[in-house]
Amino acid sequence: MRIPYYPGCTLHQKASGLDRSARVTAAALGIELVELPQWQCCGGLIPQIREAYMGLLAPARILVDAQKEGDRLLTLCTFCYNTLKRADRILRDDPESRRRIEDFLEEKYYGVRVVHLLEVLRDEVGWDSVRQQVVRPLDWKVAPYYGCLLLRPYKEIGLDDPEDPTIMEDFLRCLGCTVVNFPAKTECCGSFLSVTKPELAKECSRQIVQKAAQTGAQVIVTTCPLCQFNLDRFQGDGPTSDGRYRSVPILYFTQPLAFALGLDEGVFFPDQHRVSPQRLFSSPTKEGRA
């Protein structure tokens, strides 16, 4: 199946590992990601307040271009997913916003269904089919981490339960992983505060990593480049004063997928990690031990 794809600014650069691992794994599972012929940054976050038309313009421009390529648009970055999906909702539900944006862009907007690769795997490829294509079942103990924007607000995103989601757990089990019960899975990593108030993002992130470490998880898996960065980056600053801290590598969900599917080119991006996940990729797999 062919799906128009919006990488977004971060995936073209700092999080190229997410982009590359997604492209190879999607292709292996029969999904052709067709990058939009032209696109720009979505603005990162959707304005929360009313009548913030300027903030709506960037995602609206992407959606207007995307509707020429098909009736849906695939994203990987959690921020892009949230922003584009909510922008589509605003443009569909609020006639005044749509009128102003259409007037400005001089184009009509009919609606685009914004989807995440995870939901395409669940709803269209199907977990069973993913499981059948695994050639290297992963004997890993994993903490799935969703963060905030992949799930919230539920009424507009609707991907999974905003407080106790299971889509990532289901996905990881298909790959053979053992999934730990991780109560901090929907807590926020401090988001963009990492660039304006790094000490606050560090506090949020380290709490999450520490909780994951306490479950015995070997790795945290996420969908978001900023979660990946925050959780990973602030571990580089040393252990906590109480000595209970253990470092945990952070991977995009597409990396274990690539490894399990035997697609080595989409597995490991050494320059994108402070806490190296390399050990995981050399540990014996279920198949290897059998």
Partner 1 sequence: MVSLTLPKRIADRDWIKEIEELSGENLFACYQCGKCSAGCPLAFAMDLLPHQVIRLLQLELVNEVLNSSAPWFCVGCLTCATRCPKGVDLAKVMEAIRTLLLREGKEERRPFPLPTEIMTEAPQQASVSAFRKLSL
Chain residues binding partner 1 by CB under 8 A are: 8-10, 13-15, 41, 43-45, 47-52, 55, 77, 79-80, 147-149, 152-154, 162-163, 186-188, 190-198, 200, 203-204, 225-226, 228-229, 233
Q: Which is nearer to partner 1, 58 or 263 (CB)?
A: 58
Q: Which is nearer to partner 1, 116 or 136 (CB)?
A: 116
Round to whole Å and give the CA distance between 21 and 263.
Answer: 9
Q: Which is nearer to partner 1, 16 or 247 (CB)?
A: 16
Minimum CB distance to partner 1, residue 31 (Å): 24
Minimum CB distance to partner 1, residue 226 (Å): 5
Angle (CA) 57-59-63 rounded to 5° is: 110
Minimum CB distance to partner 1, residue 25 (Å): 20
Q: Which is nearer to partner 1, 70 or 162 (CB)?
A: 162
Round to whole Å and give the CA distance between 195 and 10.
Answer: 15
Minimum CB distance to partner 1, residue 32 (Å): 25
